[in-house]
Structure formats: structure tokens, C-alpha cells
Amino acid sequence: MKPVSMLAALLTALCLTAQPTPDPATAKALQNFDDIKFGMFIHWGLYALPAGEWKGKYVRGIGEWIMFREKIPVKEYEGLANQFNPVKFDANQWAQLAADAGMKYLVITSKHHDGFAMYGSKASPYNVVDATPFHRDPMKELSAACAQRNIDFGFYYSQDQDWHEAGGRGNNWDFPEKRDAQPYLEKKVFPQIKEILSNYGKLSLIWFDTPGLLSVKQVTDLRGMVKSLQPSCLINSRIGHGRHDYTQTGDNAIPQQVYTKDGKWEVPATLNDTWGFKKNDNNWKDPRDLIAKLADVTSKGGNYLLNVGPTAEGVIPQASQNILRTIGGWLKVNGESIYRTTPSPFAVNGITWRATVKPGRLYVHILNWPGTNLTMEGLESKVTSASFLANNVPVKFKQSGGKVSFELPEKAVDANDTVLVVNIADQVPRVAAAHRAGVIPARLDLYAWESRLRGEEVRYDWATTSATNFKKFEQESNALWWYPYKALDGSYSVEITYSCDNAAAGSKFRISSDIRGAQSVGQVEGAIEGTDGKFVIKKLPGRLRVTPATDFLNFGLSGDDRSASVKVQKITLVH
Ligand code: FHN
């Protein structure tokens, strides 16, 4: 691929085309946003009441979509408001949890797709103050609690989807007729945007979602309104039509790429499989996984926005609290390797380590303990000293022939992520061309850990660094999705590193190169053979086409439930 088309593809992918140079207020806010790295997302609304169950039936999928999934009529869903009384809500507890977790910003749903305002709105009576027995404005309390703790406060607002309104997108069971968005925007969206930007102090950002079908003019007006009220309020890319200040990846989607110069970006992610509270979703992620992902995202130049879904009583689930406090404990010791760092100068290489940078210093995040030696290739800057951040214990090293070898103890200092401080003689690390960020190796490994686990059954296991329990292939579930380098362009042969019990033989692997909402660009398949439970590398027949338009690589199994025992460590694309 030519460098010019590579760059164009990258810019398109990040929706950064036609981005104006930010005005001074926005530029300053972006710099702050870049420094703080880690935030709390809160999905809280009426959907916390049914909590994933409707009329005694378990409802699959994310909890806040229950109205849509069950096609609950507006009148019936509205009835939830009469029962919504979160008497255990304590804004100080929530904000303190964010502080304890080391989170520096907080974004909460002022209105999700169900159309219910979680703040006191004059623009619509369908709001928490007027329509519920609670009668308090939790957002007022929360913005104040955040301000007291120096936590930047922001609002999520679903601008296009609104299942409560005829002019909002999504509800075709109550409103089958053709939708006209403009009256909805004028009567509800614009007045509510004005309210949330006027009545809750300084908003660090506004988080729009699922941009859908609004026109360029409508979106431009929306942006204009935000900026006229609070010029420094950042706007995320889900406003649509490129009218944003910074970019979101997909949900739980961490790109493989190290982005350095292409604008600020953020990964929104869940602690389990839902955003809004679901009583039976206990598929909690391991704090180790989340700490490693925070390091991974930071090393690639992004921010990590981790979600909690409080109950209808106003309580953040204990499991979420425990996870967040564990992350906070790690950050207390290792925070200097995350906040105010710049991205790694190295190409992403496996899942052993990631790097973040400050002037004259690399922080090497050791995510998978490699034994008594860690070798880094490509660092040209002279290493002057090395030590562990957690205990200041010096680490011996040898540097020669473009390699640095660090002598490590047998066991990790911190199993979650041991940070090795590497001081160098240059302010900005120098890295050999072959190892620089953006270089794609001839054999490109895509580890299960780097993927987005799709479906409610798939699990990741650190002990074997593999994902398992795929059950059967479905487009929407039980799969691994990778977001590969946008510069990939060609046909690749594919290898899989996997194990499976002999009894599972006979099912099939399937990997497709997918464009969201369109036909796959390419696909390969291969039979699963029994491996006596040992990890083996298997080459699949055929070649997989991947283009810059590929949004994600989709891995799944076809066959019956026997394939649940298959464990997948990685796929490798070979050029
Ligand atoms: O549909 C929403 C979903 O409910 C949730 O709010 C996530 C968070 O990023 N955004 C949308 C899906 O991408």
C-alpha cells in the first residue's frame, strides 16, 4: 500500500477527516483529557429496575436495551418511573469510588436510548425529578461530589435514538410511521442539551452515542449549541459527521495500532457483559485483565473509560467496587507510569509487555511474566539505569547489538502488571526503524487477550492465555473480534494456536474479515482436530483477504456444543 493511501485509510478509520484545528479552549481541554487517561462511565436509568428480566423471562443482551429487545410499549415502560426510587443513592460514595479507582473523569447517562432524563428537565416531564417518587436530581449531587474531588464531570446523551419519541430513532413498535427528527430535536434534544450544559457546572465533555441518521446540518447545529454554551466542553466522535473533538473506538474494542499523531481517542469498556445493571450478569472481568488493558490502551495513546451499572436502588454492585478498588490500588503505586505519559515508540509485539513514556524514561509494563529475562529489541537510546517502580529495586541489564536484556526475578513483583522503569540518555527514546510503532511484522500475531470477547459465554483464562467456551458460531455472539492495523492490505495465510479435547474434533474454525453492516471481505475455514488438550499451531487452508476497509477480524467456531472445549491462544496472519 502506498504511504498516501495508508494515511488516508487511517484518517478515515479514525473519522478525523476535515477536523479543524481546535480552538484554544478545546485544545486545552484535549491536553487535559490526554493527561488523565482513566475515567468512570455510568449507565444508570429505568432499565436498572427490570435488570435484564421482563415478565419473568431472561432477556439476552445488554441491560439498557431491554425496552428495545422486548418491544415494550412506551406506556408500559413509562410505568417503571413510578417504581424508580433509588433511596440508597449517595453521590459522594460514587465519586469517592471513582477517586479510589484512580479515575480522573466521570461520564454518566443524562438520557439513554429509552428517552428518560436522569436529571431534572423542564424540557420533558419524563425525568427523574418529576416522574419518580425519588424527586431528587441525582446529577446535581453527583456533579458537586465530583467537583469536590477534582474529578472531571461529563454527560452521556443519546441524541438520535430515543424510543420514547416518535421523532427519535428506534421505536417502530409504537411509532411505525416515517420519522421526522427535526421536531424531536427542537422540542427535546436542543432544550435538553441547553439544560445539561447550563445547570451542572463545567462539563468536561459530552458523550453522544449511536449517531444514526441525523443530517450534517442537524449535527452541526448540535455541535454549535454545545460550543456556544461551553467552548471547552469536548465532543466525542459519536456525534457523527466528523463534528467531534476526540474519537471513540467501538465498545470494548482496543485497536492493535499505536496511534501517536492522529488525535485523541478513548475506549469505552464494560466490567461484565452489560452497561446498565443486569442482575444475572456476573461475568466480571479479572482486575488483572483490566489493569493490563489500561496499560495497553495508554501505551497506544488512548484513554480507558470503564463502566459501572448501578442498581435501581442506587448502589454500584459490590463486584464492580472490588474490581475498581483493586485497579486503584495498583494505580496508587504505579500511577506515574500511566497519567501524563505519551504513547509507546515500539511496534506492538505480543502480550508480554507494553511501554509508556515520559521525558528520559520508559515505563515497561510487564503483563505476562517472561521468566528471569526480558529482552527488548530495537531500543537505540542508551539505558542508564533500570528499577521496579513498585519497590525501587534496581534491575540489572545488558545492552548490545540493538537489544536490552533485563535480569528479572523468577516471580512477578506485581502479578497484575509489574512496571519496570527504564531511564535513558535521550529525552525522547530512539527506536530502530524495524521496531517502530506502526511497523507490521511479516508474521502478525493476534492474541485472544487483545480481542474483544463477544457473547455471554466466551471466557478468557490468564493461566493458559487462551479464550474458551465458544459453543457455536453466530454473527453476534461467541466470537473473538480483533481490530487490526488499518494499513493491512492483502491476502494472508492464517495459523491458529489452539488446543482441544479429542472429543471436540469435527467442528470448524471460521475467520472472516468483516466490514460493519456489509458483506465479509474474506473468509477462511478449517477443521478442528483433537490435540489431546495440548496447544498446537494449525495452518488453515486458503488465504484471508484483509483490506483497509476491514473493521474487524471475526473468529468463531461452527459446529455443536462439543467445540466449547476448544481453547484459542492466537491467530497469526502470515504475509
Ligand atoms: O447502544 C449503546 C449502548 O447501550 C451503550 O450505551 C454503549 C456504550 O458505549 N453505546 C451504544 C452502543 O455502542
CA of 238 relative to ligand 1 center, distance in Å: 10
pLDDT at 457: 83
Nearest atom in ligand 1 to 65's CA:
4
**Atom 10 (ligand 1): residue with closest C-alpha?**
209
| Model pLDDT, residue 20 | 62
Write out pLDDT tens, residues 330-375: 999 999 999 999 999 999 879 999 999 999 999 999 999 999 999 9
- When pLDDT is cut at 50, 70 and 90, the band that residue 487 belongs to is confident
- pLDDT number for residue 54: 98
Looking at the predicted structure, is the pLDDT value of residue 503 above 80? no
Residue type, 36: I
**Could you give the residue ranges of the DSSP H alpha helices within 335-458?**
none
Do 362 and 429 contact (CB within 8 A), yes or no?
yes
Atom of ligand 1 nearest to the CA of 251: 9
Burial of 554 from C-beta contacts in 10 A (0-12 / 13-18 / 19+): buried
Q: How large is the average pLDDT for residues 248-265?
A: 83
- Short-list 517, 514, 503, 441, CA closest to 480: 514
Q: Which residue has the higher pLDDT, 518 or 4?
A: 518
Cβ–ligand 1 contact at 210 (below 6 Å): yes
Q: Ligand 1 centroid to 441 CA: how many Å?
A: 34
Closest CA to 573 of 530, 529, 522: 522
The answer to whether the CB of 64 is under 6 A from ligand 1 is yes
**Residue 398 pLDDT exceeds 90:** yes
Q: Which residue has the higher pLDDT, 22 or 187?
A: 187
User: Using CA of residue 139, residue 142, residue 147, residue 153, what is the dihedral sign?
Assistant: negative
Distance of CA 188 to the CA centre of its chain: 29
216 C-alpha to center of ligand 1: Å?
22
Residue 480 and residue 552 in contact, taking contact as beta carbons nearer than 8 Å: no
How far is it, in rounded angstroms, from Cα 417 to Cα 440?
25
Taking Cα atoms as reference points, which of 82, 94, 93, 79 lies closest to residue 44? 94
Q: What is the DSSP letter of 3?
A: H
Q: Residue type for 535, please?
A: F
Ligand 1 contact, 251 CB (< 6 A): yes
Q: For ligand 1, what atom is nearest to the CA of residue 62?
A: 4
* Nearest atom, ligand 1, residue 156 CA: 6
User: Can you tell me the mean pLDDT for 283-302?
Assistant: 96
Find the mean pLDDT for residues 94-103.
98
Residue whose Cα lies nearest atom 7 of ligand 1: it is 251
Which residue's CA is minimally distant from atom 9 of ligand 1? 251
Please state the rounded mean pLDDT for residues 286-301: 97
| 8 Å CB contact between 416 and 288 | yes
For the chain, give the longest Cα–Cα distance: 72
pLDDT in tens, 202-235: 999 999 999 988 999 999 999 999 999 999 999 9
Which mutation among 267, 270, 275 tests ligand 1's pocket best, with the greatest number of atoms within 8 A of CB? 275
**pLDDT tens digits along 130-140:** 999 999 999 99
The answer to whether the beta carbons of residues 82 and 132 sit under 8 Å apart is: yes
Q: Where are the beta strands (DSSP E) in 473-560?
A: 479-482, 490-499, 508-514, 522-527, 536-539, 544-546, 552-558
Q: Is the pLDDT of residue 3 over 70?
A: no
Query: How would residue 469 be classed by pLDDT, with cut points 50, 70 and 90?
Result: confident
Does residue 60 surpass a pLDDT of 70? Answer: yes
pLDDT at 474: 53
> How far, in Å, from the CA of 260 to the mean position of ligand 1?
26
Which H or E run contains 54? strand 53-54
Nearest atom within ligand 1 for CA of residue 250: 13
275 lines ligand 1 (CB under 6 A): yes
At residue 433, φ and ψ (nearest 5 deg) are: -50, -40
| Contact yes or no for 473/479 (Cβ under 8 A) | yes
Q: Which atom of ligand 1 is nearest to the CA of 43?
A: 6
Ligand 1 centroid – CA 419 distance (Å): 33
Ligand 1: which atom is nearest the Cα of residue 109? 6
Degrees, nearest 5: CA angle 4-430-443: 60
Q: What is the DSSP string of 430-486?
A: -B-GGGBTTPPPSEEEEEGGGSEEESSS-EEETTTTEEE---S-BTTBSEEEEB--T
Q: What per-residue confidence (pLDDT) applies to 8?
A: 35
Burial of 325 (0-12, 13-18, 19+ CB in 10 A): middle
Ligand 1 and 195: CB distance under 6 A: no
Instruction: State the residue for C-alpha cell 526480558.
Output: 374
Which residue CA neighbors atom 1 of ligand 1 most closely? 210
Minimum-distance ligand 1 atom for the alpha carbon of 276: 4
Q: Using a 6 Å cutoff on CB, does residue 269 contact ligand 1?
A: no
Mean pLDDT of 281-304: 96
Q: How far is CA 348 from CA 15, 253, 345, 465, in A?
A: 23, 16, 9, 17
Side-chain half-sphere CA neighbours of 528 within 13 A: 33
CA of 276 to the centre of ligand 1 (A): 10
Q: Which atom of ligand 1 is nearest to 275's Cα?
A: 5
Q: Cβ(268) to ligand 1 under 6 A? A: yes
Mean pLDDT of 72-90: 98
Spacing, Cα 213 to ligand 1 middle (Å): 16
CB of 34 closer than 8 Å to CB of 262: no
- Residue 561 pLDDT grade (very low, low, confident, very high; cuts 50, 70, 90): low
Supply the residue whose CA is at minimum distance from atom 5 of ligand 1. Answer: 275
- For ligand 1, atom 13: residue with the closest CA: 251
DSSP 512: E
How far is ligand 1, taken at its centre, from the CA of residue 162, in Å? 13
Residue with cell string 443524562: 110
Q: State in Å: Cα 209 to ligand 1 middle.
A: 7
Give the residue-averaged pLDDT of 273-277: 97
**CB distance 457 to 273 below 8 Å:** no
Counting every residue written for the chain, the total comes to: 575
Query: What would the 3-class secondary structure string for 308-340 be?
Result: ECCCCCCCCCHHHHHHHHHHHHHHHHHHHHCCC
Distance 76 CA to ligand 1 centre (A): 23
- How far apart (Å, rounded) are the C-alpha atoms in residues 318 and 313? 13
What does pTM read for this prediction? 0.94
Give the dihedral of Cα atoms 169, 244, 307, 334; nearest 10 deg: 170
- How large is the average pLDDT for residues 472-496? 82
pLDDT at res. 560: 59
> Which ligand 1 atom sits closest to the C-alpha of 248?
9
DSSP per-residue letters across 189-250: IHHHHHHHHHSSS--SEEEE---TT--HHHHHHHHHHHHHH-TT-EEBGGGSTT--SBEE-S
Mean pLDDT, residues 406-434 taken together = 97
